[in-house]
Amino acid sequence: MKKIINSILFGGMLLLLMTACSKDVLQYDTSVVKDFQIQLNGEPWSLNTGIATRPIFIYKNDGDYVANYSSHYRFSLENGKYQFLATDIPEQMVSSPVNLNDLIIPQFPNADQAVKISAAMPYDSPFKDTLTMNILHRTGTLRLKAKDIVADPSYTNIKTYVTVKRSGYKAADETFIQEDKTVSRTKKTTSGGINYTDDFIVFQTDDVANNVKIRIEFLTNDLTVVKTKEISGSFPILANGVTQINFNLNDADTPVIQNYELLINGVAPTAKK
C-alpha cells in the first residue's frame, strides 16, 4: 500500500512539474502584441467602440497568412518575424486569406470603391517597439461635371469609359500592376445631360504615362448609341484627391471635347512653360 501511495505522490509531482514546464515553454514561445498605432493618411485612427471590424492582418515573414485581428484588443503571437497590414475597410481590401505575396487588390470595374491599405510593416518578437501602420489612399476620384444649359433630347443615357494604366495594387511591396484597363458606368439622364455629374474612383497615377483617358457614349432608352465623344488629353489622379473636369456635353459637332476646365483638388493646374 505504501508503495502505491508513493507512486501516486510521485506521479502527481511529476504532473505538476510537467505543467509548470509547459507554462514556461508557452511563456517563452509567445509574446504579446500590445504597442501599436493605426493612422489614416498620417492622422490617428481608431475603431469606434463596439464596432466588430478587424483592421489588422498578420502574415509570416515569408508571406503566409496568420490571422486577422481587431484593434480593440491586445493579442499574442508565437515568437518570430511577421508583417502587419492595416485597413479600415478589411472586407473590401482582403476578401480571402491568401499569401501576402499574392494579395493584389484590383481596379474595381465599376470604379466605385476606394483602395485604402497600409504598407506591409515588419514586426519581430518580443514586439517591444511601437508599430505604426499608416493606412494610405491608393486611389483618387475623377469627377465629370456637365456645364450645359441647353438639353439634348436625343439621348437618355450617358455611358462613360475611363481607360486606366493600372489594373491592380500589390500589397506586399506597394507597387501597381501596369496594365491597360477600361472601367465604365452608365447613368440615366432625364434632362438631356443638364446637371450630369459622375465620380470614378481609380488608382493614383503618379506619372504622366499613367494618366487616364475618357470616352463618352450617348444612348437612347433601348441603349442604341446616338453619338460618341472623347475628352481630349489625359488626366492625373492624385491619391485621396479629386480631379474634376467641367465641360459641355451637348456642343454640336464636337466629337472631341477640347474646351473644358480642369481642377485638381479645386485648383486649376499651372501650365508648364
For residue 37, pLDDT over 60 is answered with: yes
State the total domains in the chain.
2
pLDDT of residue 194: 97
Q: 122 and 81 in contact (C-beta within 8 Å)? A: yes
Domain shared by 129 and 189, yes or no: no
Domain shared by 113 and 143, yes or no: no
For residue 80, pLDDT over 90 is answered with: yes
pLDDT of residue 9: 43
C-alpha cell at 184: 465604365
Q: Which of 233, 228, 262, 109 is nearest to 157 (CA)?
A: 228
Domain shared by 163 and 235, yes or no: yes
Q: Quickly tell me which residue has 502505491 as its cell.
A: 4
The domain that contains 73 carries what CATH number? 2.60.40
Summarize pLDDT for 190-203 with one digit per residue, the tens: 999 999 999 999 99
Last residue of a domain, which of 73, 104, 137? 137
| Reported pTM | 0.85
Quick check: is 112 in a domain? Answer: yes
Quick check: is 219 in a domain? Answer: yes
Summarize pLDDT for 119-172 with one digit per residue, the tens: 999 999 999 999 999 999 999 999 999 999 999 999 999 999 999 999 999 999
Domain shared by 164 and 122, yes or no: no
Strands (DSSP E) found in 87-156: 104-106, 116-117, 121-124, 131-137, 139-146
Which residues are CB-neighbours of 119 under 8 A, at least 6 positions away? 85, 133, 134, 136, 174
pLDDT of residue 18: 44
Quick check: is 145 in a domain? Answer: yes
pLDDT of residue 164: 98
Q: Which of the four pLDDT bands, split at 50, 70 and 90, describes residue 8?
A: very low
For residue 15, pLDDT over 70 is answered with: no
The residue segments making up the domain with residue 87 are 30-137
Q: Which of 257, 237, 271 is nearest to 196 (CA)?
A: 257
